[in-house]
Structure 1
Amino acid sequence: GIGGYTFEVIVKDDEYVATKTIEAWSEFFQSTKPLVGHTLGSPNTFSVQPEFNAQCVPQVMVATGHQAWGDPVNHPWTTGYQLSYASEALLWGAWIEANTEPGVVVAGLVMDNDFGLAYEQAFKDFADNSDHIASFEIVRHDPASATLTNEVTTLAATNPDVFISMTAGNPCVLAIQEAGRSGIIENAQAVFTPSVCKSIAAYMDPAGEDADGWYIVGGGIKDTTDAGYADDLWISYANQKLDEYGGDSSISLQGEGFANRGIVWEQVLRIAADLEGGINRTNIMLAQRGLLNFTHPALLDGIKMNLNGNEDAYFVEGSDISQYDLANRTWVQQGGTIDLSGLSPNCAWVPGEGC
Structure 2
Amino acid sequence: DDWDPFQGVDGDEIRLGQSLPESGPAAAFGAIAPGMQAYFDYLNENDPIVEGKNVVVVARDDGYEAGRAVANVEEMIDTEDIFAFVHLIGTAVNAAVRPITADNCIPHLFNSTGFPLWGDPANYPWNTGNILNYVTETQIWCQAITDEFGEGATVAALIQNSDFGKTYQDALNNDPACAGIDIVEEQLHDQAADSITNEMTTLISSGADVFLAGTTGAFCPQSVGAVAQSEWRPRFYMSYTCNNLASFFTPVQDAAGALAADGAGVRMTNINKLCGDPKWADDPAIQEVEMVLDEYLGVTCADGSYSTGVLFAHLVETVLRDAAAMPGGLNRVNLMSAAWTLDTADPLLMGGTQKTDGVNDAYIQEAAVIQEVVVVDGALGYTDVSDIIDLE
TM-score (norm 1): 0.90
Equivalent position of 1:158 in the other structure = 206
Q: How far 1:129 sits from its partner (Å)?
A: 5.7
Q: Which amino acid aligns with 1:202?
A: S
Give me the CA root mean square deviation: 1.6
Distance 1:169 1:211 in 2: 16
Equivalent position of 1:3 in the other structure = 50
Q: How far 1:2 sits from its partner (Å)?
A: 2.1
Give aligned pairs, total: 334
Distance 2:383 2:131 in 1: 20
- Structure with greater strand share of residues: 2
Change (3 A) 1:55 1:136: farther
Distance 1:252 1:334 in 2: 25
Conserved in 2, the CA contact under 8 Å of 1:110 and 1:165? yes
Q: Counterparts in 2 of 1:228-307, with a 5 A limit?
A: 228-250=279-301, 251-258=303-310, 260-292=311-343, 294-300=344-350, 302-307=351-356
Distance 1:62 1:44 in 2: 9
Conserved in 1, the CA contact under 8 Å of 2:151 and 2:181? yes
Is 1:325 matched up with 2:370? Answer: no
Equivalent position of 1:57 in the other structure = 106
Three-state SS of the structure 2 residue aligned to 1:107 is strand
Name structure 1 gaps, 5 residues minimum.
342-355
Change (3 A) 1:282 1:194: same
Deviations 1:161-198 (A, max 9, x none): 100100011111111111223433x3x2x011210111
Q: Which amino acid aligns with 1:61?
A: F
Deviations 1:253-291 (A, max 9, x none): 211111x22222111111111112211111111011111
Distance 2:288 2:183 in 1: 46
Q: Counterparts in 2 of 1:1-355, with a 5 A limit?
A: 1-4=48-51, 5-38=53-86, 39-126=88-175, 130=179, 132-184=180-232, 186=233, 188=234, 190-212=235-257, 213=260, 214-250=265-301, 251-258=303-310, 260-292=311-343, 294-300=344-350, 302-327=351-376, 328-341=379-392
Q: Which amino acid aligns with 1:332?
A: T
Query: Any runs of at least 4 consecutive aligned residues in structure 1 with deviations exceeding 4 A, and if so which?
Result: none
Q: What percent identity do the matched residue pairs reach?
A: 29
Change (3 A) 1:179 1:110: same
Distance 1:99 1:278 in 2: 52
Distance 1:117 1:7 in 2: 36
Three-state SS of the structure 2 residue aligned to 1:157 is helix
Distance 1:156 1:127 in 2: 26
Name structure 2 gaps, 5 residues minimum.
1-47
Three-state SS of the structure 2 residue aligned to 1:275 is coil
Deviations 1:68-100 (A, max 9, x none): 211111111111111111110000000001111
Distance 1:290 1:103 in 2: 42
Three-state SS of the structure 2 residue aligned to 1:323 is strand
Distance 1:230 1:89 in 2: 30
Q: How far 1:303 sits from its partner (Å)?
A: 4.2
Distance 2:176 2:218 in 1: 27
